[in-house]
Chain A
Amino acid sequence: MDFLQILALIIPAAIFSAAPLIFTAIGGLFSERSGVVNIGLEGLMVIGAFVGIVATLTLEGMGLGAASPWIAFLFAIVAGVLFSLFHAFASITLKADQIVSGVALNFLALGLAVFLVKNIYQKGQTDFVQNLIYRINVPILSDIPIIGRLFFSNAYVTSYIAILMAFIVWYIVFYTPFGLRLRSVGEHPMAADTMGINVIKMRYIGVMLSGAFAAMGGAVFALTISGNFAGGTIAGQGFMALAALIFGKWHPLGALGAALFFGLAQSISIVGQQIPLLQDIPQVFLLIAPYVLTILALAGLVGRADSPKAIGKPYEKGSR
């Protein structure tokens, strides 16, 4: 097996595994840049996966066929936004501890989703959807020698949307007035307030956007990878996305890079058995690689990560 064949095995798998993490991590970025820690990304992904699958099954039942998962994404996003309001209301309006509120959100999302699945389907998991997101060869680009096969063949549209979205978010956060306001309420809310920026509103928007993106991430996971929903469908991907966000230093492109890196690590643990050099390594090392590398990275390999300064602190008007 030559090097290119190995790459052809790993890279598409990496991009594929990374897509849900990219969506969720840039969602978390909106929230955390506005000064609200969002450990509830996991729960928001659960809601996205749940709604994505249930909506797809329902729409398929109505005869919408291949369009079903795409419409289901919209439902998932709306559900994610609504659900994130729990976190927003508790941590912004009620000034609850943001980490605690996020933990509550995770519990609530998983409990509610499985409760509803049992109520609707009378069993612990949903049926498998028939119309998953299909793989495509990107026209023209997939004909480029080598690169075309690695990056543009047999891939999911959602992966490209995720990568594109990271660039869009990068532009929004760093080059638009909205982005400036969002970052300013996360860095120095009182100064922002003095300048006439509505801190509470900006933070609500940040958290709601995190709900939209994280739910999209969950739905992408469900509709490309798992195909159905059960209690264990989303098992830690939200926390991985959070790690990617911190690994990427709260920067959209950094988060993108970190998510792709985690995707790579995950895909190696999946396809590692087929690669000569990695066959002899016990699989456990490949399994724990992303986590160990994250810890090492945080411990100094990527330098000090500077979180938004006001993160985790409720904003009290007039306090300093």
Chain B
Amino acid sequence: MKKGLSSKISPILFPLIAVFFGILIGAIIMLLSGHNPFTGYSALIRGIFGDTYYIGETLRTMTPLILAGLAVAFAFRTGLFNIGVEGQLIVGWLASVYVGIAFDLPAIIHLPLAIGAGAIAGALWGLIPGLLKARFHVHEVIVTIMMNYIALHVVNYIIRNFLLVPGERTSTINPSASLASPFLQTLTDFSRLHYGFIIAVAACFVLWFVLWKTTKGFELRSVGFNQHASEYAGMNVKTNIVLSMVISGGFAGVGGAMEGLGTYQYMTVMSGFTGVGFDGIAVALLGANTAIGVLLAAGLFGGLKIGALNMQSQAGVPTELVDIVIALIIFFVASNYLVRWIISRLKKEDI
């Protein structure tokens, strides 16, 4: 009875413990570097909740983080590690912006088309590592890392040569493909919050539904759990690997479309990675690869990132403190063996 209870609680308990320790050590680092942790963290919290503008910006920051997190989580569930979310997001961003600029259609067709273009671009970028993994057993981690760089250079090349307007960027997308919402903006004191947030939340539901309520989802999870048993049970492991990477890339591509159609309405030549794809790894890990977990973790990281700006301007603590805290949270989530060991020790003493 007791065991059943603790196994229900632990998926929530471990991340909470990890977050607690991450924040605690963040405070110690602030103290050691001559900042007041209370001033720092209260500036951080005010930077998240102090104003409807900040809340709007947090929700906006969450949007691509949710989709990147879902992409990583989906691949994880099927036994794959997709480090290529960053690249898939970049190509998705470009594809959606391209469709947004090139066509002039009624919004009801144009917007889904642009988002779909992002999804397809991301999916194609995921297809390559998926095929290589299934066909040649090439480790997807290395291929996806390489695909990130290829995405970055190719996208920059395309923008420079075909889509450039003065100022190292593409032109702005047509309003019919825009996710921007004057309603949400006025509601949040003119933050850049856009309708993409609703899409991201819907995507969480899609992930949950596909993985847990469909036969294909069962198959994908089964392959992730034990390839050999799945093969023996008559499942086509190779097809499932490819499909998993394609769907994962699709989520990431939509994440890029959110940036392109929602936040920025254009794409700039990029000097480096956006970082959103890599943060997606953290989001998925903290969210225990579940839809609701990803949503909550994206909320935490999105809030931390927006709050960090206020922390730097109000309390003088560099924004990178938040990156350190995020790293420590991942570290503690990954090391939950320690927490399990302590809990099992405590239980033994109970008996």
Contact at A94–B33, with CB atoms within 8 Å? no
Chain A 220-264 interface 0/1 with B at a Cβ cutoff of 8 Å (1 = within): 000000000000100110010011001000000000000000000
Most buried by B among A97, A101, A283, A295: A295
Near B by CB (< 8 A), chain A positions 110-148 give 110-112, 114-116, 118-119
A116 to B35, CA, bound (A): 12
Given contacts A114-B320, A284-B154, A288-B154, is CB(A299)–CB(B335) below 8 Å?
no
B282: interface (CB < 8 Å): yes
A65: interface (CB < 8 Å): no
Contact at A115–B338, with CB atoms within 8 Å? no
A106 to B278, CA, bound (A): 10
**Contacting residues, chain B, for A300 (C-beta < 8 A):** 136
Contact at B335–A90, with CB atoms within 8 Å? yes
B142: which of A108, A118, A298 is its contact (CB, 8 Å)?
A: A298
A107: which of B29, B128, B142, B282 is its contact (CB, 8 Å)?
A: B282
Contact at A111–B327, with CB atoms within 8 Å? yes
B37 → A minimal CB distance (Å): 14
Contact at B282–A97, with CB atoms within 8 Å? no
A111 to B33, CA, bound (A): 14
B189: interface (CB < 8 Å): no
Contact at A294–B137, with CB atoms within 8 Å? no
B206: interface (CB < 8 Å): no
A200: interface (CB < 8 Å): no
A188: interface (CB < 8 Å): no
B58 → A minimal CB distance (Å): 20
B138: interface (CB < 8 Å): yes
Given contacts A99-B81, A246-B142, A295-B146, is CB(A107)–CB(B326) below 8 Å?
yes
Contact at A96–B337, with CB atoms within 8 Å? yes
**Contacting residues, chain B, for A242 (C-beta < 8 A):** 142, 145
Smallest CB-CB separation from A297: which chain B residue? B138
Most buried by A among B153, B273, B324, B331: B331
Given contacts A94-B338, A95-B337, is CB(A299)–CB(B132) below 8 Å?
yes
B141: interface (CB < 8 Å): yes
Near A by CB (< 8 A), chain B positions 61-77 give none
Contact at A292–B150, with CB atoms within 8 Å? yes
Contact at B139–A115, with CB atoms within 8 Å? no
Contact at B153–A284, with CB atoms within 8 Å? yes
Across the A-B interface, how many residue pairs have beta carbons closer than 8 Å? 129
Contact at A96–B335, with CB atoms within 8 Å? yes
A118 to B321, CA, bound (A): 11
**Contacting residues, chain B, for A197 (C-beta < 8 A):** none
Given contacts A111-B321, A232-B271, A288-B154, is CB(A294)–CB(B142) below 8 Å?
yes
Most buried by B among A115, A232, A246, A294: A115
A44 to B335, CA, bound (A): 19
B165: interface (CB < 8 Å): no
**Contacting residues, chain B, for A232 (C-beta < 8 A):** 271-272
Contact at A291–B146, with CB atoms within 8 Å? yes
A300 to B145, CA, bound (A): 18
A246: which of B139, B321, B323, B331 is its contact (CB, 8 Å)?
A: B139
A276: interface (CB < 8 Å): no
A304: interface (CB < 8 Å): yes
A236: which of B81, B149, B161, B281 is its contact (CB, 8 Å)?
A: B149
B138: which of A39, A104, A298 is its contact (CB, 8 Å)?
A: A298
Contact at A100–B330, with CB atoms within 8 Å? yes
- Residue pairs across A and B with Cβ atoms less than 8 A apart, 9 shown, are A39-B141, A86-B331, A90-B335, A107-B278, A111-B320, A118-B318, A236-B149, A282-B161, A304-B137
The 4 closest A-B CB pairs, nearest first, are A111-B323, A107-B327, A108-B327, A284-B157
